[in-house]
Chains A and B, each alone.
Chain A
Amino acid sequence: MRVILRRIGFYILTAIVAVTVDFMIPRVIPGNPVNAVLAKSQGQTITPATVHALELQFGAHTSEGLWGQYTHYWSSIASGNLGISTSNGMVPVASVIRGALPWTLGLVGTATVLSFILGTLIGAVVAWRRGTWLDNLLPATTFFQAAPYFFLAFLAIDLFAVKLGWFPAERATSIGDFPAVNWNYISDVLDHAILPALTIVVASAAGWIVGMRNVMITTMDEDYVLLAQAKGLPKQRVIWYAARNAILPSISSFSLAIGFVVSGALLTEIVFSYPGLGSLLLNAVLDSDFPLLQGIFLVITMAVLLANLAADFVYVFLDPRTRQEA
């Protein structure tokens, strides 16, 4: 329990720092952020009230001190108020993010889980069958790992969408398709998700494969694996004994991996014009939409923190040694 409490404490502290960084973004950017926003939002009706709201949010032209602004920022986050998105017709940032978040969560979540399972399985098999042709798999997967996600996305579109025409090349649904709970809509969504998901899985599986293989080879030398084998247990059982011990470091290195996968997924989304947070973040930067920028940054950071917390829980659940410490 102490381990978990310590970790939770760390994550709370990290969350506080993340919010502080988020708060500082428009304040450390050179130039006046309010003017930058207004310059980029031509053609939209800007009421004095909007300008005032922006000034309050960015801390420009206010008599309030930095600390006052900071506490104010906290209280508005706590009430779910992330400001207004100036590049999306002055709608609340929260609703803009709410529209994009499910796509990213669905895509990244599924792809991460898939690549973890696939990569770990392949890694275990490669370690078990060491010295065979399977070892040649490692340099090959390295190539996919080293290639930028968006390059793989280019290749996938060029090959599977344009040349073969199997899958659509962009967007998350067909044009004119409206959300509904029927097979038509669901199959359309799946059809659009396969290529981006495949890209993320192929690019991120290599890390899991190599990590699992290296630990598995060391684990296979442990006495308990030898004993299991000597007792004459079926091969699958022996592999299972070794694998479930070898998987622990993979889970504890989750925090490193998830950051890469999220970053890669954001890029993949941009190539596929997928309506998730990646495309939204890039547009927010290009349009100097600070409120949206802050909101997306906050959401991504919190999601990564939560994913890490979940991985920690799983780790404590899987490894009794961490529980005995208390």
Chain B
Amino acid sequence: MSIGSGTQLGASQAGEPAALPVPDAPPVRSRRLRLPRSPKVLIGLGLLILFLLLAIIGPWVAPYNPSATLSTTTSFPQAPSAAHLLGTTQQQQDVLSQLLVGGRSTILVSFVAGLVATVLSVIVGVTAGYLSGLADDLLSMLANFFLIMPALPLLIVVFGFLPSSQGSDDVLIGLIIAITGWAWGARVLRAQTLSLRTRDYVQSARLIGERGWRIIGFEVLPNLVPIVASSFLFTVLYGVGTYTALAFLGLVNPNHVSWGGMLFYAQVADAEQAGYWWLFIPPGLAVALLGTSLALINFGIDEFINPRLRAAGLSRRRVRQITGAARATLAPGRFILGLTPVLRSAPADHPNMNGSRATGAARNARRASDGRPL
């Protein structure tokens, strides 16, 4: 089994040198998805972990019962105060408690949606790409059909008539959203599988007489991990947006506390017209930040798949650090063309990377930069 082919993927034409086996780690490791440690990825991961923690402990640390009416003396939303850090809603419920409790439902729905949609897209996409022929045509058509059908109107119709007892079942909601969200991943995975199945190591596995499912499971799938991860993040993002939208429209049981449901009540209270910013800014910001964290991690996966993107985002100083060149002749930001150097990080970034490899890469990068007309 070729290890070198593990990290190449679709970007192999970028001229990335085949990954060498790292001596102190088992060879399989090089197949793993290794995210570049850029600030974008770190911030994204940090935010996501924060949100996952919130989903777990949120309901426990919430100061009030999110649905309890805390005062009967007024019918106007109260601005933030010491007692209610994010104010109260029109029904005199504590906004901070709703925010803390509502995260669980939002995150659970979107992760169920992402998980189910990813499994569906792997099954359909990899099968279509590997089998080709009539099965491919049919599965591709199915995927394209789901891709083209506008999902939200369909979901609005489905949720509009879902019995209200099921309208607050997070797993069921996630499943329904997943059915409309798997097609994009299937299309990308199919294209990648199509290019993988003609690679030498897959051919040789077939010649040896390996069974189809074994080739898919052990030769093809491991090389699809970055794309599967990317499509997972994408569908979670889609799940967050869709669930929030459906809850915002009041189509999910509004008594089920979620960020979208908070926005629904914000609109009921005419918050955007009356200036009750504490009703829509906290849940809206939470949804936006959760989505941003997923998208930031996706940037990292993009850079892993296509190393040119990695080098493209570097500043001149950073290039100098990595290549070790006294003067970075390739000055990003200036007018440069031609081969974008595929930079390997310096040993400081990857402690387990052996020295000869890093210097080799540095040499490559320097050669690439010296040989270019500026």
Q: Provide the bound-state CA to CA distance between A238 and B337, in Å.
A: 10
Identify the closest chain A residue to B331 (Cβ): A131
Chain A residue contacts of B263, Cβ below 8 A: 148, 150-151, 154
- B163 lies within 8 A of chain A by Cβ: yes
Chain A residue contacts of B144, Cβ below 8 A: 10, 14, 255
- A190 lies within 8 A of chain B by Cβ: no
Inter-subunit contact B308/A267 (CB<8 Å): no
A-B contact count (CB 8 A): 186
Task: Tell me which of A47-55, A215-223, A317-325 binds B.
Answer: A215-223
- Given the known A-B contacts A154-B272, A217-B309, A270-B249, are A146 and B153 also in contact in the complex, defined by CB atoms under 8 Å? no
Chain A residue contacts of B241, Cβ below 8 A: 146, 148
Chain A residue contacts of B275, Cβ below 8 A: 158, 162-163
- A281 lies within 8 A of chain B by Cβ: yes
Question: B183 to nearest A CB, angstroms?
Answer: 9
- A30 lies within 8 A of chain B by Cβ: yes
Inter-subunit contact B156/A150 (CB<8 Å): no
- Given the known A-B contacts A131-B314, A226-B338, A259-B148, are A267 and B245 also in contact in the complex, defined by CB atoms under 8 Å? yes
- Given the known A-B contacts A146-B295, A147-B291, A308-B148, are A218 and B308 also in contact in the complex, defined by CB atoms under 8 Å? yes
- For the residues of B in contact with A, the DSSP-based class is helix
Size of the B side of the interface (Cβ < 8 Å), in residues, is 68
Identify the closest chain A residue to B287 (Cβ): A148
Chain B residue contacts of A220, Cβ below 8 A: 337-338, 340
Contact residues, A307-322 vs B (CB, 8 A): 308
Q: Provide the bound-state CA to CA distance between A229 and B312, in Å.
A: 19
- A248 lies within 8 A of chain B by Cβ: no
Inter-subunit contact A304/B337 (CB<8 Å): no
Inter-subunit contact A130/B288 (CB<8 Å): no
Encode B275-316 as 1/0 by CB contact (under 8 A) with A.
Answer: 101001000100111111011100100100010110011111
Pick the contact of A217: B160, B295, B308, B333 (CB < 8 A). B308
Question: B236 to nearest A CB, angstroms?
Answer: 11
- Given the known A-B contacts A132-B333, A142-B295, are A259 and B309 also in contact in the complex, defined by CB atoms under 8 Å? no
Identify the closest chain B residue to A18 (Cβ): B149
Chain B residue contacts of A14, Cβ below 8 A: 144-145, 148-149
- Given the known A-B contacts A131-B315, A214-B306, are A263 and B150 also in contact in the complex, defined by CB atoms under 8 Å? yes
Encode A257-295 as 1/0 by CB contact (under 8 A) with B.
Answer: 001001100110011000000000110011010000100
* Residue picked from B141, B154, B250, B277, most chain A C-beta under 10 Å: B154
Inter-subunit contact B339/A221 (CB<8 Å): yes
Identify the closest chain A residue to B144 (Cβ): A10
Pick the contact of A143: B151, B161, B292 (CB < 8 A). B292
Chain A residue contacts of B277, Cβ below 8 A: 158
Inter-subunit contact B141/A13 (CB<8 Å): yes
Inter-subunit contact A145/B291 (CB<8 Å): yes
- A46 lies within 8 A of chain B by Cβ: no
Question: B360 to nearest A CB, angstroms?
Answer: 21
Inter-subunit contact A154/B280 (CB<8 Å): yes
Inter-subunit contact A135/B313 (CB<8 Å): yes
Encode A115-131 as 1/0 by CB contact (under 8 A) with B.
Answer: 00000000000010111
Question: A14 to nearest B CB, angstroms?
Answer: 5
Inter-subunit contact A147/B272 (CB<8 Å): no
- B51 lies within 8 A of chain A by Cβ: no
Inter-subunit contact A263/B267 (CB<8 Å): no
- A225 lies within 8 A of chain B by Cβ: yes
Pick the contact of A145: B147, B266, B295 (CB < 8 A). B295
- B373 lies within 8 A of chain A by Cβ: yes
Contact residues, A130-169 vs B (CB, 8 A): 130-132, 135, 138-139, 142-143, 145-151, 153-155, 157-158, 162-163, 169
Q: Provide the bound-state CA to CA distance between A25 and B313, in Å.
A: 49
Residue pairs across A and B with Cβ atoms less than 8 A apart, 6 shown, are A129-B333, A146-B289, A221-B338, A221-B339, A262-B150, A285-B161
- In the complex, given contacts A154-B266, A221-B339, A267-B249, what are 12 additional A-B residue pairs having Cβ atoms less than 8 angstroms apart? A14-B144, A131-B312, A131-B316, A132-B333, A146-B288, A162-B272, A218-B308, A220-B340, A255-B147, A266-B152, A267-B248, A270-B249
The 8 A-B residue pairs with the shortest CB-CB distance in the complex, in nearest-first order: A131-B332, A146-B291, A263-B152, A151-B284, A285-B160, A147-B288, A132-B333, A130-B312
